Structure 1
Amino acid sequence: MHPYDYADTTFAAYEPGDARPPRRNRRPVAIALGALLALILVPVAVDRFATARVESRTAQAFQAGMHTPSAPEVHVRGFPVLTQLAAGTLRHVDITAHDIPASDTTGPLPVSELSLRLHELKRSDDDTEALARSAEATALLSYADVSDALGLEISRGSRPDQVRASVLLPTGDDITVATTVSVLSGNRIAFKDFQVTGGLLPDVGRVALSRVFERPIQLRNIPQGLHLRSVTATESGLTARLSGESVTFRSDDGSRGDAVEGDSSYGNA
């Protein structure tokens, strides 16, 4: 054999075209990945849709019952929500509402902001109310509203349990007094032990202020079952903390009292 013939045979056996591995069909892999993503994303999307719907319906129900100018912020916590709806109980629901009006004009304060954390919220059998196994709440009472309720100009005092009141006497003198705030039974806020901190207050003025401060302010425009635990004077107003069990949201029957609307549709996706 000629040397060149041998070389040609050897080189032909190692041509680049013969060295390439066979192509694999990647389409089944892509289909499998797409199916897997669909199995993951579709249930999540459906659950998020159900969550948004129940949050919206709960906000509408709360707004109707509490007569707020705008719908509150509602957040249903926990995943998946669909299983909670199927069981008829929402494990954790947070609600933040603003500008809740007073139930009448003779004493109860409007609530500037009410933040609720509800646990195990479910409907009643007759769909007329919603019931939370337990709840915690924070209510903000602005100093402007407290001033209107007492007929005095109220502001923050020097201590967390104290507010300051300014009194303009008929003589034109401006008197400043300080009084402590505390909790009474029946969701009432008491003002006690006022002391003059600026100016001279005549005896007749002391008697008049005593009558003003001896009348506690009652909170009625809050969900039934919440009980006032503490009240603190802050920069923005009086911050009231409440908690309770079997907190009820029910429809308005003409005298709202401390009840709030509980739409029967809150648990329907």
Structure 2
Amino acid sequence: MHPYDYADATFPAYEPGDARPPRRNRRPVVIAVGSLLALLLVPVALDRFATARVESRTAEAFQEGMRTPSAPEVHVRGFPVLTQLAAGTLRHVDITAHDIPASDTTGPLPVSELSLRLAELRKSDDDTEALARSAEATALLSYPDMSDALGLEISRGSRPDQVRASVLLPTGDDVTVAATVSVLSGNRIAFKDFQVTGGLLPEVGRVALGEVFERPVRLRNIPQGLRLRSVTTTESGLSARLSGESVTFRSSDDGSRNDEVRDSVRDWVPGDSSYGYA
């Protein structure tokens, strides 16, 4: 046979599978990943549960304290919430309430919508109040409610700081008047620069309307500590901006209900054991 003639040579058959590395057991890896996911997801789920519970209780207590027909929308911001509950202070809480009734029958002015942004909400030492280190708020006062408070048909004026009123005279004629809205101390809304913008108004009517606009309207049904900063007109009503520090929420001003007030506020904000998280 020729030295380079391999026609008659035989070689062992090549099996591709012989070079494949041995198959590894991946089960321990899957178990490790699953355990890690469980460690991450369980605390998140518990925190979400705690958040939902404290939001629900805050809404119930606010509804009782402000006597709203429905519970407000409450959102506790910041993660994790469990650590905030353990510390006894919620860092940021947003509350949006609707149809807050007037508390003064001599000058009724309900608040159609109140949006609150609270910082560092906690309960008082005696469980009778909820306290926020600071708060910003926007209150919407509808034109129908303003009309009932002033006894005139109030609507939006031609400027952001102006309202308009329509007056029907005994003669059947319509007169349109306007006034500028501004802020006075004591959370009062003033109406200044009263003027007739349409029609003829007798002097006696001018005097009577002037007296109506000279009486400011006071906001009484808002949390203690909020101060009225500005007021502007919108399509649906007056938008009042408020802010303050050491803002206080009480469930009731009735001294005969101290126990009920204490229980309600205890459920409102985090405490040692009322939420069951400690």
- TM-score > 0.5, shorter chain as reference: yes
Do the aligned residues in 2 keep the contact of 1:112 with 1:141 (CA within 8 Å)? yes
- Residue equivalent to 1:209: 209
- Supply the distance in 2 between the matched residues of 1:17 and 1:193 (Cα, whole angstroms): 96
Aligned residues: 260
- Supply the distance in 2 between the matched residues of 1:15 and 1:226 (Cα, whole angstroms): 84
Equivalent residue of 1:118, what SS? strand
How far did residue 4 of structure 1 move?
8.8
- Residue equivalent to 2:222: 222
- Residue equivalent to 2:10: 7
Whether 1:153 aligns to 2:156 is no
- Residue equivalent to 2:178: 178
Cα distance, 1:206–1:29 mapped onto 2, change above 3 Å: same
TM-score computed with the length of structure 2 as normaliser: 0.90
Whether 1:263 aligns to 2:261 is no
Do the aligned residues in 2 keep the contact of 1:108 with 1:220 (CA within 8 Å)? no
Equivalent residue of 1:43, what SS? helix
Do the aligned residues in 2 keep the contact of 1:180 with 1:193 (CA within 8 Å)? yes
Q: How does 1:1-269 map to 2 (within 5 A)?
A: 7-8=10-11, 10-11=12-13, 14-254=14-254, 263-265=265-267, 266-267=269-270, 268=275, 269=277
- Supply the distance in 2 between the matched residues of 1:4 and 1:45 (Cα, whole angstroms): 73
- Supply the distance in 2 between the matched residues of 1:30 and 1:4 (Cα, whole angstroms): 52
- Supply the distance in 1 between the matched residues of 2:178 and 2:223 (Cα, whole angstroms): 31
Do the aligned residues in 2 keep the contact of 1:152 with 1:167 (CA within 8 Å)? yes
- Supply the distance in 2 between the matched residues of 1:264 and 1:187 (Cα, whole angstroms): 29
- Supply the distance in 2 between the matched residues of 1:4 and 1:98 (Cα, whole angstroms): 97
Q: Counterpart of 1:161 in structure 2: which amino acid?
A: D
Cα distance, 1:58–1:7 mapped onto 2, change above 3 Å: same
How far did residue 171 of structure 1 move?
1.1
Aligned sequence identity (%): 84
- Residue equivalent to 1:258: none
Do the aligned residues in 1 keep the contact of 2:62 with 2:251 (CA within 8 Å)? no
Q: Counterpart of 1:163 in structure 2: which amino acid?
A: V
How far did residue 244 of structure 1 move?
0.2
How far did residue 6 of structure 1 move?
5.5
Task: Give structure 1 stretches of 5+ with no counterpart.
Answer: 256-260
- Residue equivalent to 2:3: none
Runs of 4+ in 1 over 6 A off after TM superposition: none
- Supply the distance in 2 between the matched residues of 1:84 and 1:110 (Cα, whole angstroms): 34
- Supply the distance in 2 between the matched residues of 1:246 and 1:18 (Cα, whole angstroms): 78
TM-score computed with the length of structure 1 as normaliser: 0.93
- Supply the distance in 1 between the matched residues of 2:108 and 2:156 (Cα, whole angstroms): 20
- Supply the distance in 1 between the matched residues of 2:207 and 2:16 (Cα, whole angstroms): 109
- Supply the distance in 2 between the matched residues of 1:103 and 1:69 (Cα, whole angstroms): 14
Query: What's the C-alpha RMSD, in Å, of the aligned pairs?
Result: 1.7
How far did residue 15 of structure 1 move?
2.0
Q: Counterpart of 2:129 in structure 1: which amino acid?
A: E
Do the aligned residues in 1 keep the contact of 2:183 with 2:189 (CA within 8 Å)? yes
Q: Counterpart of 1:195 in structure 2: which amino acid?
A: Q
Equivalent residue of 1:263, what SS? helix
Equivalent residue of 1:70, what SS? coil
Q: Counterpart of 1:136 in structure 2: which amino acid?
A: E
How far did residue 103 of structure 1 move?
0.6
Q: Counterpart of 1:185 in structure 2: which amino acid?
A: S
Task: Give structure 2 stretches of 5+ with no counterpart.
Answer: 1-5, 256-260
Do the aligned residues in 1 keep the contact of 2:166 with 2:177 (CA within 8 Å)? yes
Question: Structure 1, residues 46-96: CA drift from partner, whole Å, max 9, x if none?
Answer: 000000000000000000111111100000000000000000000000000
